């Protein structure tokens, strides 16, 4: 039986929530901004690979241009740390393309894979609070393109663009819900259910549709599934072999193809 370790700190905005007095000021700033300025909730048309980013939802073109103009775009090769756990949270990032791996080192020295960042998602969000530290590490899993805002720039933008603050708060609650649901599932579900969830998470994060199937590619997929599901690679291999025999999926090195409407039972 695998012993499930649930970190004391849930990464991202749940850690931000634990800074209660600072978060209280953050919420008050959002409420104050909304009360003093009405922001039209118009949709913004195409803006490259970040057009559907939740952080920009409802921003009119002039405010979107303002926010993007204050970011620092950068291209980063695979295998580079954008930040490390425990470092001062000095920048928030928006992923335009590629894939970023978020992981945490637990108190007993083990690496816990938290999730993969998808294009259009923000990470390093603790930079919204001056003096906070990153609760996890972020490393590029493929070559990536990102936008980054410093804490000073971000705090100023949250005051200038109230809708941005609302969007960031909405993202906060989504990440918190994701973390709670994940840890509840990891703490209570059997290994096969956790592996099912990890497969679905990888498909959602970077799977590509191919007719009636979804293809997932990566350098170490079975290890990623084991890390996400908090189980062993041997258990993952056994479960996937059973699914393959029942026609649920096919697999070869670096690639898993999931067939829709397949019955795992």
Return the closest-CA partner of residue 63 out of 204, 157, 140, 149: 157
pLDDT value for 264: 58
Which comes out higher in pLDDT, residue 10 or 214?
A: 214
Longest dimension (CA), the chain: 61
How far is the C-alpha of 56 from the C-alpha of 87, rounded, in Å? Answer: 27
The CATH number of domain 190-259 is 1.10.287.130: no
CA end-to-end distance (rounded Å), the chain: 22
Residue 229's φ and ψ, nearest 5 degrees, are: -90, 0
Q: What's the rounded mean pLDDT across residues 218-247?
A: 92
Stretch 230-234: mean pLDDT = 93
Asked if the model's pLDDT at residue 78 lies above 80, the reply is yes
Task: Please give the CATH architecture assigned to the domain spanning 13-187.
Answer: Sandwich (2.60)
pLDDT band (50, 70, 90) for residue 116: very high
Q: Is the per-residue pLDDT at 82 higher than 90?
A: yes
Q: Which two tokens stand for residue 16?
A: 């931000």
How far is C-alpha 146 from the geometric centre of its chain's CA atoms?
Answer: 14
Domain ranges (residues) in the chain? 13-187, 190-259
Look at residue 11 in the predicted model and tell me its pLDDT.
37
Report pLDDT digits (tens) over 194-220: 999 999 999 988 888 888 899 999 888
| pTM of the predicted structure, to 2 decimals | 0.76
Q: Identify the band that residue 19 occupies on the pLDDT scale cut at 50, 70 and 90.
A: very low
Please give the Cα distance from 28 to 20 (Å, whole number): 12
Give per-residue burial for 196-219: e unless 16+ CB within 10 Å, then b: bbbbebbbebbbeeeeeebbbebe
33 has a pLDDT exceeding 60: no
């Amino acid at each position: 039986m695998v012993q499930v370790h649930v970190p004391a700190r849930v990464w991202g905005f749940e850690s931000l929530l634990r800074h209660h007095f600072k978060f209280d000021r953050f919420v008050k700033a959002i409420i104050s901004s909304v009360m003093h300025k009405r922001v039209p909730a118009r949709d913004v048309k195409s803006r490259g690979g970040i057009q559907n980013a939740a952080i920009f939802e409802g921003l009119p073109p002039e405010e979107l241009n303002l926010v993007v103009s204050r970011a620092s775009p950068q291209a980063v090769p695979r295998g580079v740390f954008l930040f490390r756990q425990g470092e001062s949270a000095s920048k928030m990032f928006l992923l335009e393309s590629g894939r970023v791996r978020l992981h945490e080192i637990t108190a007993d020295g083990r690496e816990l894979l938290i999730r993969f960042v998808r294009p259009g998602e923000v990470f390093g969000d603790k930079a919204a609070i001056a003096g906070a530290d990153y609760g996890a590490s972020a490393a590029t899993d493929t070559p990536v393109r990102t936008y980054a805002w410093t804490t000073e720039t971000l705090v100023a933008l949250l005051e200038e663009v109230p809708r941005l603050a609302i969007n960031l708060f909405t993202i906060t609650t989504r990440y918190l819900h994701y973390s709670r649901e994940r840890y509840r599932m990891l703490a209570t579900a059997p290994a096969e259910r956790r592996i099912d969830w990890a497969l679905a998470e990888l498909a959602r994060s970077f799977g590509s549709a191919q007719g009636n199937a979804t293809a997932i590619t990566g350098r170490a997929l079975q290890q990623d599934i084991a890390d996400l599901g908090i189980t062993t690679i041997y258990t993952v291999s056994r479960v996937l072999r059973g699914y393959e025999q029942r026609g649920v999926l096919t697999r070869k090195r670096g690639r898993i193809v999931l067939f829709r409407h397949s019955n795992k039972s």
